[in-house]
């Protein structure tokens, strides 16, 4: 009888430990990472950073930890869904296109430079249904030169604090996302923004794709105003390279270099 009581106690304590462990962590959308969020971090993202719980999966855990560490405050966001038009197949049937989800967000963070304001600009893309074409797409962040924002630079004159992540996996297959990351923009220009190139993995043909572009910018703490940030996604249905150009709204994707350019902008006071 004593052995049974001890066994039951062990089982009970194991259950309690399991429940306690489950309460400390929460499943997060896979971005090819092994790390996760605990409940305290999720609460900080919601109540301190100002994110909606539904937004959290749009960010890798690494980026979310960075936002918490830097005392970030969300100041603007925009979400957009674009559906490719169906086309007619050779036998007359309709062939559905892909579905693209886009989110552009700006955060103000605790600055690591004296006398400067610091902002983090983040643009996320995700093909939740496979696009018909998996070629070379592009994504950009653009803002007016009148903002007087500066890009952080390395000692050898290269843009710092830039990131472009691309992930892919077959649709309807329970696999981890395979991800790659670049820290060098495809193009940039002082005071107007950055752009990146996305090589969509074409095989298998049912691949899903997602990723983000992120960039830090600084401005004088006495500088203030209202601004628009122009995020763009350029989708390609023929071969070729994505090109960028400078427009009044900032660095943008050159329309002639891709099949379609999709804007998703935000506005805020700074």
Output the tens digit of pLDDT for each of the chain's 270 residues: 444 444 444 444 444 444 343 344 455 668 988 788 999 999 999 999 999 999 999 999 999 999 999 999 999 999 999 998 866 555 656 667 899 999 999 999 999 999 999 999 999 999 999 998 999 999 999 999 999 999 999 999 999 999 999 999 998 777 889 999 999 999 999 999 999 999 999 888 889 999 999 999 999 999 999 999 999 999 999 888 899 999 998 999 999 999 999 999 999 999
The answer to whether residue 12 sits within a structural domain is no
In a domain, 17, yes or no: no
CA torsion sign for 146, 149, 155, 160 is negative
Is residue 148 domain-resident?
Answer: yes
Q: Is 58 domain-assigned?
A: no
Q: Is 261 inside any structural domain?
A: yes
Is residue 236 domain-resident?
Answer: yes
Asked if residue 64 belongs to a domain, the reply is: no
**pTM for the whole thing?**
0.87
In the chain, the number of structural domains is 1
Domain residue limits at 176: 74-85+93-269
In a domain, residue 247? The reply is yes
CATH classification at residue 99: 2.60.40
């Amino acid at each position: 009888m004593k052995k049974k009581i001890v066994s039951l106690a062990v089982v009970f304590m194991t259950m309690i430990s399991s429940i306690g462990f489950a309460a400390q962590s929460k499943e997060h959308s896979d971005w090819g990472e092994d790390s996760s969020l605990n409940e305290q971090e999720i609460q900080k993202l919601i109540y301190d950073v100002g994110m909606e719980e539904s937004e959290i999966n749009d960010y890798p855990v690494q980026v979310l930890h960075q936002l918490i560490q830097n005392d970030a405050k969300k100041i603007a966001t925009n979400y957009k869904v674009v559906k490719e038009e169906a086309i007619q197949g050779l036998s007359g049937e309709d062939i559905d296109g892909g579905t693209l989800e886009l989110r552009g967000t700006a955060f103000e963070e605790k600055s690591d430079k004296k006398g400067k304001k610091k902002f983090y600009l983040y643009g996320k893309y995700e093909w939740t249904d496979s696009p018909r074409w998996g070629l070379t797409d592009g994504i950009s962040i653009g803002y007016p030169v009148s903002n007087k924002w500066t890009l952080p630079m390395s000692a050898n004159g290269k843009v710092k604090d830039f990131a472009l992540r691309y992930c892919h996996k077959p649709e309807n297959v329970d696999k981890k996302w395979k991800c790659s990351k670049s820290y060098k923009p495809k193009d940039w220009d002082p005071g107007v923004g950055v752009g990146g190139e996305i090589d969509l993995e074409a095989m298998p043909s049912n691949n899903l794709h997602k990723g983000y572009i992120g960039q830090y910018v600084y401005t004088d703490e006495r500088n203030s105003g209202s601004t628009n940030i122009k995020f763009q996604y350029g989708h390609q249905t023929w071969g070729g390279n994505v090109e960028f150009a400078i427009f009044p709204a900032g660095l943008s994707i050159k329309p002639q270099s891709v099949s379609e350019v999709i804007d998703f902008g935000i506005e805020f006071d700074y």
